[in-house]
Structures are given as structure tokens and as C-alpha cells.
Structure 1
């Protein structure tokens, strides 16, 4: 079933990891995939542009159907394979509402993380300012406080939308993992650390973890003072 699926991806990308977790959760192992490189500008290669004219990862095809945005891939897989693997959208309206809310707040969470850890990548050297980076860091601290509060309200051992793993966890967990990869203090954010510990060894997450995390050194600890 997965043999007519193709994923073009890069290691160390939260959007790619989201799609790969969803594929694992739906028991869609065995799909065709190719690891490409941002550093080599392979996201702008003709191979990628033929499927994704934005020249971004992930790039995904299922038969003749093209779905490239990571959230869209996750929704698509859950919709097309409802009866396969783990159910990722809860039935109850209260749980559904919370799942959708946390999913889309996750986009803001990821953006605020990226504004800090990718600051030097996105902003040309001559346009960088310490004051701008400080504002980005302050915004991330405020965002982290929100998620600490959300997880505290849910209680120990809970997922983002209740007692069952859902699409909210699929799309937000990679952001949380990147936080700790880049040196976030577990002591200052105990609920996020508890959530990370709850999920880091889940089979779908272990199977799709960025491969360079297993073979290379830790990243620069850009968040150690956050």
C-alpha cells in the first residue's frame, strides 16, 4: 500500500519529521523516500520542483496525488487510512476542539523557535541586531510559558489533547524535541520536559528521528539561557 508513496525530505526538519511520524503511526512503512540536502540546495532541484513548485521539504506523492505541506500530509494520511494504524483524531467534540487548537497554535510555536535558532540563517549578517534577537528570545520565552501552562492543566501523563496521542502530538512534538536538542533547560520548563520524556521513545518517533542526531555531535546550545 505504501509502495506508491514517495517522500522527499531532509534531516533536521520539523515539517519533514511531522510527516514521517504520521506515516509511521498509520503503519505505512515501506514508502519510497529520498534524503536530500538543504545545504546542497537540493530543495531547489528540478526533481523537487516538478512535484513542489515552492521548492520546499517535505515533498510527498501518493499515486497521482501531491500533498506537500506537512499539516496537509498528516490530515491526508489520517483521512485516507482511518482504519489503519493508530487513530489520530479523537471522536469527542471537546477533544477534537482541543486537538485542532493545539495543532494550529503549534505553527506559532515553531515560528517563534525558528526566529531564534535560525536567526543567523534567515537574516543577512549586515542586518542582524542584538536587540532583534533579544525580542525573538523574549517572544519564545512567552510562548514556552503558554505551553507549560497547557501541559500543567492537562496533568501528568497526558498528551496535548487529552489521554490519547493525536495529530496535535504528531505536529508539535518535533518542535519540543528541537527545544531540548538546542539546550533548553528542563529545570525551567518541567512540564515540557515531562512531555518530551513521555514521547521521545514512542516507536513512531524513534523510527523517524533525524538520523544525524544519532551520528553527530549535539547542536550548539542556543537555548541554554532561555
Structure 2
């Protein structure tokens, strides 16, 4: 099954990591994959465009089926292999509802985090505006407090939608991991810190950990140190 799958990905990319975690959780190791460097990605090689006309990552193909959007790929894999590996959609409808809510809130969470990183690394210093920096920071802090509250309400040792690891964790954890990579304080956000420590020990997370993070475990810890 996995031999019929192809994934093009980039190290540390949140959308790519979602799909890689999903493949691990569904015991689909052995799929064909290739990591694209930033330079390769920017040049839009034909093998990328053959799978993804938008020239984006991840690019995922299973046989003749192409599902490039990371949420879509995760839903597809859970549906296709629902009796294999980890069951990622709970039977309990209340837990399902919370899972779907947190999954799609995760898109806003990712957007707020990505905006900070984009502004820091890709907007020339001379083009930055203090008002935008302040607005982006306030938006992310508000978001972080929401997620801290969600985890506080669920209690110690909980995942995002309850006692079980679900699709919500598959798609949101890479955002959380990136935040701590960029220096988010576990002392300031202890529940997110606990959650990060819990999930990063899963075999699927360890197996898909971004290669350049392995090479440079410290990362850039100054970006979010004051958040």
C-alpha cells in the first residue's frame, strides 16, 4: 500500500509534517518521498508540478489519487485506512465535535503563528511597522491564551480533544512544536508546554521530526522569547 504513495515535502513545514505524522500513525511507512530544499521548491521542479499544479508542498499521491491539501490528505488517509494503525476519529460524538472544532481552529492558530515568523524573516527591516509588529504579537498572544485555556479545562495529560490522540493533534501539534522551536516559554504557557512534552514522545512524532531540527536542536529561540 505505502509503496503506491509519493510525498514531496520540506523539513519543518507545518502542512508537510501533518501528513508525515498521519502516515506514521496509520502504519504506512515505506512510502516514496523526497525532501525538497528551499532552492528546489522555489524553482518548481517538474516532479512537483506533476503532482501539484499550484507548486506547493506537501504534494501527496496515492496511486492515481492526488490529495495535496494537508487536512484533506489526513482525512483521506483516516478514511482509507480506518482499520489500520491508530484510530484518529473517536466514536464518541461529543469528542468528535470537539476534535473537529479544534482541528479547524488550528488553521487560525497556524495563521497567527506563521504571520509572526513571516514578518520576522521575510519582511525587510526597513519595511516593518511598529504598529504591525504590535498587532501581530497581540493576535498571537490572544490565540496562545485560548489554547492554554482549552488544555487547562481538559486537565493534565489530555490531548486536544480529550483522553485520546486524534486528528486534532495530528494537524495542530506541528504548529505547537514550531512555536517552542522559536522560543515560546513553557513557564509562561505551562499547559501548552505539558502538551508539547507529552506529544513529542510519540513514535510518530519522533519518526517524522524535521531533519534540520535534529541537526540543530536549539533553533532560533529569540523570535518568541518575549511572548
**1:182–1:120 Cα change, 3 Å:** closer
Offset, 1:119: 1.0
Could you give the per-residue CA deviations for residues 69-92 of structure 1, whole angstroms, max 9, x where no partner exists? 110010000000010000000011
Q: What are the superposed Cα offsets for residues 45-94 of structure 1, whole Å, 9 maximum, x if unpaired?
A: 22111111111110000000000011001000000001000000001110
User: Where do 5+ consecutive residues of structure 1 fail to align?
Assistant: none
Aligned to 1:224: 225
Q: Secondary structure at the match of 1:157?
A: coil
Tell me, in whole angstroms, the C-alpha distance in 2 between the residues paired with 1:137 and 1:92.
37
- Secondary structure at the aligned position of 1:180 is classed as helix
Give the TM-score normalised by structure 1. 0.96
2:58 corresponds to: 58
Secondary structure at the counterpart of residue 145 of structure 1: helix
| CA deviation string 1:98-131 (max 9, x = no partner) | 0000000000000000110121445355532122
Query: Superposed, which structure 2 residues align to 1:60-99 within 5 Å?
Result: 60-99=60-99
Q: How many residues end up aligned between the 2 structures?
A: 226
Deviation at 1:42, TM superposition (A): 4.6
1:157 matched residue in structure 2: 157
Secondary structure class of the residue paired with 1:204: helix
SS in 2 for 1:23: helix
Three-state SS of the structure 2 residue aligned to 1:34 is strand
* Cα RMSD (Å): 1.3
| 5+ long unaligned stretches in structure 2 | none
- The 1:26–1:217 alpha-carbon spacing in structure 2 relative to 1, beyond 3 Å, is closer
Provide the rounded CA distance (Å) in 2 between the counterparts of 1:77 and 1:91. Answer: 17
SS class of match (2:214):
helix
Distance 2:216 2:125 in 1: 27
CA distance in 2, matches of 1:217, 1:195: 19
Q: Which residue of 1 aligns with 2:136?
A: 136
For residues 190 and 217 of structure 1, the distance between their equivalents in structure 2, rounded to whole angstroms, comes to 21
SS at match of 1:118: helix
Query: Which segments of structure 1 move beyond 3 Å, counting only runs of 4 or more?
Result: 39-43, 120-127
Contact 1:157–1:198 under 8 Å retained in 2: yes
**How far, CA to CA, are the matches of 1:156 and 1:125 in structure 2?**
41
Equivalent in the alignment of 1:9? 9
Equivalent residues in 2 for 1:124-203, closer than 5 Å: 126-203=126-203
d(CA) in 2 for partners of 1:65 and 1:122? Answer: 34
